[in-house]
Chain A
Amino acid sequence: EAQVTQNPRYLITVTGKKLTVTCSQNMNHEYMSWYRQDPGLGLRQIYYSMNVEVTDKGDVPEGYKVSRKEKRNFPLILESPSPNQTSLYFCASRTGYLGTDTQYFGPGTRLTVL
């Protein structure tokens, strides 16, 4: 089954404790992105990657890191989480071959930083 998977689905942590949210897709997609969803703001892009070893900042990159060492994986790293990073996080992927192709979203990771 074609899908984007994320782990963990739920995470409660404390300020300053490094964490990684994994993302993997099995569709051989070139493009992968991370978004965060906050009430009243919709989803906002954090980082994106157009291919292996190619990453770039989205609209809200502060406090986050990413890497793309393999085509299928795109982990999101919070080196020193803070309470304002409490949010619902989505990983997404698409082929990238057409400007209008559909973005597939993972199931989401609900993060709470105390």
Chain B
Amino acid sequence: AQKITQTQPGMFVQEKEAVTLDCTYDTSDQSYGLFWYKQPSSGEMIFLIYQGSYDEQNATEGRYSLNFQKARKSANLVISASQLGDSAMYFCAMRETMMDKLVFGAGTILRVKS
């Protein structure tokens, strides 16, 4: 069965510094996708970045990058140059290619300090 583990319930980071949010996953499938979503206090789910299991290079989207280590089954999100607006809940999620369901981790609350 698919499972996502986010071991950091909460994180603090100083403005302008980089931060890594951890995510490990479990699946027996070879073909899957990994996603990160941001949920600000207003509640909406904002898609940040995607990594396919067969992608050889780590995904990057602006200040977001995904540190994908397939053998370790980890997909950590790196946010560079943190901004106050990055304060939010962050969810890691996975979908096996032939499934519709996104399986989510419990989330990590990130607080950026000025």
Contact = CB atoms under 8 A, between A and B. Distances in A.
Given A42-B91, A90-B45, A107-B44, A99 B97 contact: yes
A43 interface: yes
Contact of B101 (A40, A59, A88, A105): A59
Given A48-B101, A58-B101, A102 B47 contact: yes
A45 interface: yes
A45 B107 contact: no
Contacts, number: 62
A107 B43 contact: yes
B43 A108 contact: yes
Nearest to A88: B43
B35 A102 contact: yes
Contacts of B52: 100
B33 A100 contact: yes
Nearest to A9: B43
Nearest to A42: B104
B64 to A, nearest CB: 14
Interface of B: 4, 31, 33, 35, 37, 43-45, 47, 50, 52, 91, 93, 95-98, 100-102, 104-107
10 nearest interchain CB pairs? Answer: A99-B97, A42-B104, A105-B45, A100-B33, A43-B104, A45-B101, A48-B100, A108-B43, A42-B106, A107-B44
Interface of A: 31, 33, 35, 40-45, 48, 50, 58-59, 88, 90, 92, 96, 99-100, 102-105, 107-108, 110
